[in-house]
């Protein structure tokens, strides 16, 4: 998690950034912005087809109390408070509203951020992020009160209602029905290639959109049951990418890279060989392009 990066990231930020910087000032913030931007692009473009679609704004909050040294984190990022904008997705409602990374947030939807939790606790920031997302989904808009008392009102736009998270210190990816995460080490391993990152996130968004979490249940999962959901996620990912304007062939590049270099923590038994997965996705791309449109809610074929 972020606590592991505090001394390296904060030292770099102190050396090269001014306290008033309004753009990402270190690699961690740049990676957060990259994941939010790609995630928003996928989620917004596919909202018409997601069963649990909800308005969203494309913004992630951060809490300096999650760092090993909160005071050093505040100093490095030039913050006067713990809660701030951690990432803004490009071409999102949050960006359109003029919100910038490192803007200090005093209240979310009119409710003050509350007292600091114990150092290292993520409870407060997840509660605030949930409040933001729930208000946007419920009302189609949400407000943030910034340092100095200014209030920014953000009008939400359609999304798949899924949160995207950069998981520091991990080299794989995963999803629940409401959240997609990708490890920061995974970005390293695929060279921060935007289209291939989109392929990974589209695969995980497919898991969320098809609610594989509920389908598999919470008990012991058979290898074959997991493999069926992985085939579905592989195949649906190319539709999700196409709708967002990404070349679906990037998913094939990503899979072949995994096969050649053994990248990411992916057990072959449940996910299948890279060559098999690439062949199935190639066939799906052809099937998709034979359709009159990319409405996967109507035209995607589920696994038997």
**pTM to 2 decimals?**
0.90
Range among 28-42, 115-129, 181-195, 204-218 rated most confident: 28-42
- State yes or no: pLDDT of 6 exceeds 50: no
| Average pLDDT, integer, range 13-39 | 73
Q: Of 66-70, 175-179, 201-205, 219-223, where does mean pLDDT reach its minimum?
A: 219-223
Query: What is the rounded distance in angstroms from the CA atom of residue 237 to the CA atom of residue 95?
Result: 26
- State yes or no: pLDDT of 256 exceeds 90: no
Which two three-digit tokens encode residue 183? 């490890």
- What b/e sequence results for 251-261 when a residue is b if at least 16 CB atoms lie within 10 Å of its CB, and e otherwise? bbbbbebbbee
Q: Domain map of the chain by residue range?
A: 2-159, 169-299
One CATH from 3.50.50.60, 3.40.50.10490, 3.30.930.10, 2.30.42.10 for 2-159 = 2.30.42.10
Q: 231-246: per-residue pLDDT in tens?
A: 999 999 999 999 999 9
Share of the chain above pLDDT 90, in %: 74
Query: What is the rounded distance in angstroms from the CA atom of residue 300 to the CA atom of residue 210?
Result: 11
Q: Give the pLDDT band (50/70/90) at residue 217.
A: confident
83: nearest Cα among 56, 123, 134, 140: 123
């Amino acid at each position: 998690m972020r606590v592991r990066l505090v001394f390296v990231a904060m030292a770099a930020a102190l050396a090269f950034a001014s306290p008033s910087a309004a753009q990402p000032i270190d690699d961690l913030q740049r990676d957060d912005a990259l994941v939010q931007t790609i995630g928003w692009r996928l989620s917004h473009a596919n909202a018409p087809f997601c069963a649990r679609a909800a308005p969203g704004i494309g913004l992630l909050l951060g809490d300096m109390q999650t760092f090993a040294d909160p005071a050093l984190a505040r100093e490095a990022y030039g913050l006067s408070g713990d809660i701030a904008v951690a990432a803004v997705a490009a071409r999102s409602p949050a960006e359109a509203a003029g919100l910038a990374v490192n803007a200090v947030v005093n209240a979310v939807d009119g409710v003050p951020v509350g007292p600091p939790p114990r150092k290292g606790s993520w409870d407060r920031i997840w509660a605030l992020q949930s409040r933001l997302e729930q208000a946007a989904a419920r009302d189609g808009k949400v407000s943030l009160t910034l340092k100095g008392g200014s209030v920014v009102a953000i009008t939400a736009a359609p999304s798949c209602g899924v949160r995207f998270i950069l998981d520091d210190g991990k080299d794989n990816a995963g999803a629940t029905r409401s959240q997609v995460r990708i490890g920061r080490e995974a970005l390293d391993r695929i060279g921060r290639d935007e289209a291939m990152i989109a392929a990974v996130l589209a695969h995980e968004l497919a898991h969320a959109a098809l609610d594989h979490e509920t389908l598999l249940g919470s008990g012991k999962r058979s290898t074959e049951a997991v493999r069926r959901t992985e085939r579905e996620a592989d195949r649906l990912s190319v539709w999700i990418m196409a709708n967002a304007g990404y070349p679906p062939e990037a998913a094939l590049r990503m899979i072949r890279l995994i096969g050649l270099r053994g990248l990411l923590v992916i057990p072959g038994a449940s996910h299948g060989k890279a060559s098999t997965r690439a062949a199935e996705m190639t066939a799906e791309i052809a099937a998709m392009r034979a359709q009159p449109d990319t409405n996967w809610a109507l035209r995607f074929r589920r696994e038997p």
